[in-house]
Every structure is written in C-alpha cells, then in structure tokens.
Chain A
Amino acid sequence: MKPEEIKKMQSPLSAWLVKHGLVHRSLGFDYQGIETLQIKPEDWHSIAVISYVYGYNYLRSQCAYDVAPGGPLASVYHLTRIQYGVDQPEEVCIKVFASRRNPKIPSVFWIWKSVDFQERESYDMLGISYDNHPRLKRILMPESWIGWPLRKDYIAPNFYEIQDAH
C-alpha cells in the first residue's frame, strides 16, 4: 500500500464555504489527505443541504465517538461524490460536536437516506439524539436497555469481576 500524499490545499468544499461566508472550522487533514471540517450543530442542516447541492451525493458512513471522557460527543460523516468514470473521487469528512449533557444534532435523513439505520445506531450506542429522524429508536440493543454502551464511561450492568463477586 503506498502512502497517499497529503494535499496541502483546502478542499474545494471548504473553499466554497469560505467564499460564501459560512461558519466552519477546518480540522486539518487526516492521514490520506481528506479534509475534516468541524460544523456546529445549529449550522449542520444548512451545510448538509449545501454539500448535497455542491455534489456530494453519497454519504459513505456516519459514525459517532466520544472525544474524551467527560468531553463532547462527535458525529462524523464521510461524504463523497459518485460520478461516472471518476478516479480518486473527492471526499470530505465532516464532524459535528455535541455536548455530553444534552447531545442533539439535526438529522440529515431527508437529505441522504443512507443515515437511517446509522443514526439510529449512533443514538443507540452513544446517546446522540437526532432531531427530525423518522423513527429514532434503539436498533442493536433491546428497546428497554438503559445506558449508552459505546461511551467511555459506560458501566456494563450486572458485570462483576470474579474477585469482587463475593
């Protein structure tokens, strides 16, 4: 596997957003040269529509993670453009941070339908609640489960170390 060269310029989407004066912050480039943008939850819905109009029609994957124990939760979207005959397509990675106490992020289901199950999984595993999602309920854990399993401060219930079980 050859290591990719880091592109030292802004991604075209970022340049376009700056040109139109929309607030976002660039988090630099990840290892393959794909730019990561940070968007605030309030702006996310409009910027998602703008990205779709700009041409990013394929939402590859949506995931969520917690940034640090006690810190914010992040919801990550990988977008790319599917076009005929394209080689090395443009990609962008967008992160939306939400506070840990009340994590609410607008859902982009009505723009890219592929986040349907993925946002449900982020809700199920980390507790990020997506507004306007048609059926936001637990998907992998049983519906009556309490707690958000993938958070770093999650304690598995009824799970005792052998030496403390007495």
Chain B
Amino acid sequence: MTVPATRKDLMIVNMGPHHPSMHGVLRLIVTLDGEDVINCEPVLGYLHRGMEKIAENRTIIQYLPYVTRWDYLATMFTEAITVNGPEQLGNIQVPKRASYIRAIMLELSRIASHLLWLGPFMADIGAQTPFFYIFRERELIYDLFEAVTGMRMMHNYFRIGGVAADLPHGWIDKCLDFCNYFLTVVAEYQKLITRNPIFLERVEGVGIIGGEEVINWGLSGPMLRASGIQWDLRKVDHYECYDEFDWEVQWQKEGDSLARYLVRINEMKESIKIIQQALEGIPGGPYENLEVRRFDRTKDSEWNDFEYRFISKKPSPTFELSKQELYVRVEAPKGELGIFLIGDQSIFPWRWKIRPPGFINLQILPQLVKRMKLADIMTILGSIDIIMGEVDR
C-alpha cells in the first residue's frame, strides 16, 4: 500500500457524543494540525428534552420532578430556583427554620456537585483513584438526603413556602459527624492532589482567561472567581439566610485550570463551615427537641410560631402566577443558574426560560483550546465543569 506523502492539510477529528470522558453527550469537532488544536466546535442538543416547552403546560408542583433532571448532580439548586420564582411573585414569606434547612441542603448539594466534578476531572487527567474516593463521600451525602427526602438524588423536596417535610430525628447529629469527617477527607485530597508535580504540570497555565474577558463572555461561578473577580451571588443578592453566617468568597487570581480547581476545593471547605454554623443555629434545634417542646407547653406556645415551621402554608395545587415577569437566580456550583419567568394569571407560566450556567460557560471552549495540545482539551473541558442535562435541557 502506498503511503501518501506528508500532507499539510488539517485533520478533523470527531470526539463524538459517546465517549467516557465527555461530561454527558457532547460532541466536539476538533480541527488539528498534528497535535495542536486549531479550532474546536461543540455540537450540542443530544440531550434536549424540551424542558422549557414542557414548563408552559405544568403547574409548579407538577414541574418540580422535572427540574432535578437539569443539573442532576446538584439537584437542590434547581428545585430552589423553581420555587423561588413563584414565592417572589406571590409575596410568600418563608419561615426561618425552612430557610435554614434550605441553606443546609443547598450547601450539601454544592459539596456533592464539586465532589463529582473532581472525580471525572482527575480521571480525564489520568488519575483514576480519586474517582472512587469521591463516590465514598457522595454516598454519605446520599444517605443524609435519603433520610430527609426519601430519594438519593432526585429529591422533589422544596415546596413553595418552605420544604416538604421537617428533618427526621437525629439528622442534625449525623450531619455534624459528616462535616467533621469531610474536613479530614478534604485534607487527604489536598495531600494527594494539590502538590503533585504531575498534576501541576498538566493543569498549571492551561486555559487561562483574563478578568475582562471572563465578564464579556458572561461566565459565572468558579470560572469567574478563578480569574480574580470576587462575584458570588450569595453575597451580592443576599438571598435565603446566607447573611447570618460567617463565610468568605473563595477566589484566585491566575485564571488557569489550577485556579479553578483551587476555588472549588476551597468552596467545599467554606460550605462545610456554613453547614456547621447553620446546624448550630437552626431555629428550634433538632426536630426531636422541637417536638418535645411543643408537647410540653400549652396550646399556643411560641414553638408553634411561624419561624419554627418548615413551610409557611401548604400551597394549593392551583397556585396562580400573576401576570408579572421576574428573573431569579441562585449561585449554583456550576455558575449562575437563573429563571426568567413570565407569569400569565393562570396556573401555567407563559414563558419559563432557564439560564443554565453550563451552556454559557461552554461558549468559551473554542477560544480556550486554540493553540493548546490535544490532551489539554480534556483538562480545559473538565475545569469548565459542564453537565449536559442543563446545557441541553
């Protein structure tokens, strides 16, 4: 067989939707010149399920099971934002105890999401063992969630006005045990990964984005904070009860993949701090104490007050959305998750636009991989932290 002479043409490689390294079904059409990447075009839509069109025909209660399927690793955030919109439209106050429970669940979900980011990120780089370690921790979080909500992953726990049920007996102690255990485990990850010279070679200086560009491309979440911009919606928007806790925004200056890794690891440690403070300060304390206090006193004791409930008032199935528009957002672990909700004085919304953090963060991928080597695509894609469930909806 005659071998053709060396061609100067560029090679087009299809890293197709089925690939163990792709974070879901993402197709990348990569144009290569030898080992250097010239251009990369992401093709999306393989997981498009029409979530926005479905939302126009469902009430909020009917839609809640759908929302956990957008970002299926950090499910509490999707539920939180789905109920935040109608709560603001309907001027519904959330009791303090419910707000604390929500904050605890959200931070646990953030830790779970960052853990499952870390595993595939290390696996893409080549270190397969952290993948198993993170699942060990994630199983503990799943156990906590299952005790409260009944489901390991797709909880359907948040309701308009609070949460669906109060914490079970003994949950707060178990959660505190988890926090103490998790801090030792994070120290283990730091020892294993952060100063590892092979890891640093692969990750330092790869995929650098400057501060101005990050804002122009509309990135959010750890990508923004790793490039020196201290923008965290929990501090900026003052939502839920995050103001009552003492925590810092984690940020780095360099803007490369190592900075994003460090931001996420530090965010996990901050989340543990927030959870510990919330568990200590939850109004009413553990549910077993609250129950006993309610039984002990007379009929109208203070422990039956509004602030000690887990839901303000069970919403009716025909909760009407008034004819207003609203853009609500939360700081999801992947970035800024937002819903633009146009109500229509009926039980169904007129337009439910989901602003997914992964979709917007993915736009910068073609620019970041230019002039990088083929192996760096996986590092950069991993450090952007996308999940196709919310990119495609």
Which of B53, B338, B350, B363 is in CB contact (< 8 Å) with A117? B363
Which of A32, A138, A141 is in CB contact (< 8 Å) with B88? A32
| Tally of A interface residues using CB under 8 Å | 41
Is A57 a contact partner of B216 (Cβ separation < 8 A)?
Answer: yes
Chain A residues lying within 8 Å of B48, measured Cβ to Cβ, are 140-141
Q: Shortest CB–CB separation between residue A97 and chain B, in angstroms?
A: 14
Residue interface bits A66-106, CB-to-B below 8 A is 1, else 0 = 00000000001010001011111100010000000000000
User: Whole-angstrom distance between the alpha carbons of A117 and B393 in the complex?
Assistant: 14
Q: Which residue of B lies closest to A63 (CB)?
A: B353
Is B327 a contact partner of A117 (Cβ separation < 8 A)?
Answer: no
Residue interface bits A118-153, CB-to-B below 8 A is 1, else 0 = 100100010000000000001111100000011000
Is B236 a contact partner of A87 (Cβ separation < 8 A)?
Answer: yes
Which of B53, B238, B327, B392 is in CB contact (< 8 Å) with A61? B327
Is A60 a contact partner of B229 (Cβ separation < 8 A)?
Answer: no
Question: Which of A9-17, A38-46, A108-116 faces chain B?
Answer: A108-116
Is A31 a contact partner of B88 (Cβ separation < 8 A)?
Answer: yes
User: Whole-angstrom distance between the alpha carbons of A112 and B239 in the complex?
Assistant: 27
**How many residue pairs at the A-B interface have CB separations less than 8 Å?**
105
Is B313 an interface residue when CB atoms closer than 8 A count as contact?
no
Is B353 a contact partner of A149 (Cβ separation < 8 A)?
Answer: no
Chain A residues lying within 8 Å of B340, measured Cβ to Cβ, are 61, 63, 76, 78
Is B88 a contact partner of A1 (Cβ separation < 8 A)?
Answer: yes
Is B45 a contact partner of A1 (Cβ separation < 8 A)?
Answer: no
Q: A114 and B217 in contact (CB under 8 A), knowing A30-B324, A31-B88?
A: yes
Is B253 an interface residue when CB atoms closer than 8 A count as contact?
no
Q: Which residue of B lies closest to A87 (CB)?
A: B236
Q: Shortest CB–CB separation between residue B139 and chain A, in angstroms?
A: 33
User: Whole-angstrom distance between the alpha carbons of A149 and B240 in the complex?
Assistant: 35
User: Which one of A82, A112, A141 has the highest number of Cβ atoms from chain B below 10 Å of its Cβ?
Assistant: A82
Between-chain CB contacts (< 8 Å), 26 pairs: A1-B93, A1-B94, A3-B88, A31-B325, A31-B326, A32-B326, A32-B327, A57-B216, A60-B336, A63-B353, A65-B351, A65-B353, A85-B230, A87-B236, A112-B216, A113-B217, A113-B363, A114-B219, A117-B360, A117-B362, A138-B45, A140-B44, A140-B45, A140-B48, A141-B45, A150-B52
* B-binding residues in A (CB < 8 A): 1-3, 30-32, 34, 36, 57-61, 63, 65, 76, 78, 82, 84-89, 93, 112-118, 121, 125, 138-142, 149-150
